[in-house]
Amino acid sequence: MKEIKIALVGQPNVGKSHLINSISGATLHVGNFSGVTVEKKEVEFERSGYKIKLIDLPGTYSLHPYTPEEKVTKDYLLNEEYDLILNVIDSNQLEKNLTFTWQLADLGRAMVVAFNMYDEYARQGGNIDTDKFFNLTNIRAQNVSAKEKFGLEELFEKVVCAYEERNIPKVYYSEIIEEEIENLKEKIKECGFTKRFVAIRLLEDDEDIYKIVHEKPWYSEILDVLKAAKERLRVEYDEDDTKTVMFEERFALSKGVVTQIAKKAKKETVTEKIDKILIHPVLGLPIFLFIMWAIFQATFNLGSIPMDYIDASFGAFGEWVGGLLPEGVVKDAVVNGVIPAVGAVVMFLPNILILYLGINLLEQTGYMARAAYVMDGVLKRFGLQGRAFIPLVSGFGCSVPAYMAARTLKNPKDRLITMLVIGFMSCGARLPIYVLLVSAFFAPEIQGNVMFAIYIGGALMGLIVAKILRMVLFKGEPEPFVMELPKYRFPKLKAILFDLWIKTKMYLKKAGTFIATASLIIWFLSSYPVNEKELSKIPKSQQQTYVLEHSYLAQIGKAINPVFEPLGFSWRETVSIISGLAAKEVVVSTMAVLYNTPESDETSKELIETIRKNISFATAVAIILIIMFYSPCLAAMGTFWAEVPQWQWRIFYTIYPNVFAYIAALIGVGLIKAFS
């Protein structure tokens, strides 16, 4: 019995595995591809007098691999023996899926397309004309549903037919591209692939094909022709690289074919109706910016309501504990050190939870993916791609998961650039510092707008830095953006509450352990040593100030302070900023300890008033700029180091944000002084 060996290929989530499971009488073998741990599925069954063997290749978006799984698929298609390609497509994502189909067609191998999930498409009134598709492309196709198990027998009848007739795809691009392909084909000699395939892959900078061709004696003969062809395409399409030219050409081809073969659903889905507005080419970006502005307005205005109550509660708690403890060092440490410092951090919990709630709602409703789509055009101008938006926005919550979310970026350059600028997205831990300084130096009616400007300003500066990194250290274009847009869905209240509870628990645990410990250490360093003999000569009302001025902490701060004097910092601000390298929340608690007076009950209003009296507006701006740009907390830095094994990038990441932050603060102070 003759065997037909089929490479089963498709983009992720098109239902390949479901299709395999739906084939009756099939025998499944599971192993690993040679040399890698990627799972290999083989299915065998009989149809029309043939033994059919399906090799299920890992899902991939294109023949430009970025993950080990995608490389396995490409290596198999280029180097292994098989008779036919079976390309599975999601009928509901025709244009996106077909861009990969055209890449497969370039291989010049017999091919069949399965339009899967056709049941969903048909229920919405849609129809795909497979005969017309065959007439246009010479690729046999069948509408199928692996879920409903229809169209499968007809599919494999067409597989046998395509095998027997050797139906080679006839897919052509624009006249300009075809002309350059023909020019290259004249110079290409035998190298194991069709001349057309080699010409196309050379045009789009396929490294694997370059390596093969580079060893051929005729390689030097094609260099000038190839260089001229790529230059012409870049100019004609106004793109920086020909890989993007080919991506856009394939997408345009997909749109053209779909308009001819597909009858779209008569009834618009709710998702489609909403998307007409939210991802509109003109309205999409302003809508996104408005949503982010609204989140930050709510973060500041709603979050400020319970702050006084929380602060008053900690004040009362401190008095109660003070009444229980005997006079001495322990009482002083707890009442004047730990409780006020922890309270100064906890009172910002409502602000942080509102910010987390906003980001959580964007994710659960499905809007976050749309925002990435909307932002792709903007991010591309700065050397990033739309998928980078997810880790960047996650950075507004916490840098640790943001660094981990960057794993979704398959291109190593794209991933590293994104990770190097995530720190410019102000995490939730920086929010208390902004709230404190904005409350002290800006009128209440504009405080929400100032907060929005801080967050957006940091993000914009991060994008500018990303562009510089792309131009100087990571030359080349970001990978084309391909991302699935999920259906809109109502957020689940239980999931939201659970997520907020986890965030609250983590924040309070941090406040109750790490921050309390840090505050205790800072209190000790700011309260000792004590020269009782000298202290007795000082009026009682000035003794606390005297102790602080001569403390260990003051000595450390004064030693470092010459570096920060151009910014208008006293040693108190210097120590507070340095302590923020451990955790940003500690900055506020450190200020609370360092600006403490015996008469103070540590209310937020007193701290704000004290800050306003002791810090100039220019210095406050310098602090904000440093907080915006300097290194994140130790936990985030540790995560970056774990994700990036190269020492040169670890060292660069550790140094450059702090230098950048200092220069930015210096410029900020200079501008304020110049215009004041």
What is the average pLDDT across 134-142?
Answer: 91
Domain locations in the chain as residue ranges: 3-165, 175-263, 288-675
Whole-number percent of the chain with pLDDT over 70: 84
What CA–CA distance (Å, rounded) separates 595 from 610?
Answer: 7
Q: How many CB atoms lie within 10 A of CB 385?
A: 23
pLDDT at 103 over 90: yes
Query: Which residues does 37 contact at the CB level (< 8 Å), separation at least 6?
Result: none
What pLDDT, on a 0 to 100 scale, did the predictor assign at position 140?
93
Name residue 12's beta-bridge partners: none
More confident residue, 272 or 29: 272
What pLDDT, on a 0 to 100 scale, did the predictor assign at position 642?
72
What is the average pLDDT across 437-450?
Answer: 84
pLDDT at 130 over 80: yes
- Nearest one of 373, 362, 398 to 585, comparing CA atoms: 398
Backbone angles phi, psi at 227, to 5 degrees: -60, -45
pLDDT at 90 over 70: yes
The single-letter DSSP state of residue 358 is: H
Which CATH fold topology does 3-165 show? Answer: Rossmann fold (3.40.50)
Region of poorest pLDDT, from 83-97, 567-581, 587-601: 587-601
pLDDT digits (tens, 9 = 90+) for 598-607: 333 333 577 7
Q: Concatenated DSSP letters for 455-515?
A: HHHHHHHHHHHHHHHHHHTS-SPPPPP----PPP-PPPHHHHHHHHHHHHHHHHHHIIIII
pLDDT at 480 over 60: no
What pLDDT, on a 0 to 100 scale, did the predictor assign at position 27?
60
Within 107-216, residue ranges assigned H as helices are 118-123, 130-137, 152-165, 175-185, 195-203, 207-214
List own/partner pairs for 523-530 with CB under 8 A and 24 or more apart: 523/333, 523/336, 523/337, 523/338, 523/341, 523/593, 524/333, 524/337, 525/551, 525/552, 525/553, 525/556, 526/551, 526/552, 526/553, 526/554, 526/593, 526/594, 527/332, 527/333, 527/337, 527/551, 528/552
pLDDT at 460 over 50: yes
Average pLDDT of the chain is 80
Instruction: Annotate 654-672 with b (16+ C-beta within 10 A) or e (fewer).
Output: eebbeebbbebbeebbeeb
More confident residue, 29 or 656: 656
Region of poorest pLDDT, from 21-30, 74-83, 123-132: 21-30
pLDDT digits (tens, 9 = 90+) for 231-254: 888 888 888 788 888 888 898 888
What is the average pLDDT across 460-465?
Answer: 90
What CA–CA distance (Å, rounded) separates 18 from 148?
Answer: 10
CATH number of 175-263: 1.10.287.1770
What is the average pLDDT across 583-590?
Answer: 75
Q: 65 preceded by cis ω (within 30°)?
A: no
pLDDT digits (tens, 9 = 90+) for 552-577: 877 887 888 888 889 888 888 888 88
- Which pLDDT band holds residue 666 (cuts at 50, 70, 90)? very high
Q: Which of 42-51, 198-207, 584-593, 600-609 has the highest mean pLDDT?
A: 198-207
pLDDT digits (tens, 9 = 90+) for 367-399: 777 777 777 777 778 878 777 777 787 777 777
pLDDT at 408 over 70: no
Helices 349-365 and 307-324 sit at what angle, rounded to 10 degrees?
A: 140
Q: Does residue 141 come out as left (phi exceeding 0), alpha (psi in the -120 to 50 range) or beta?
A: beta
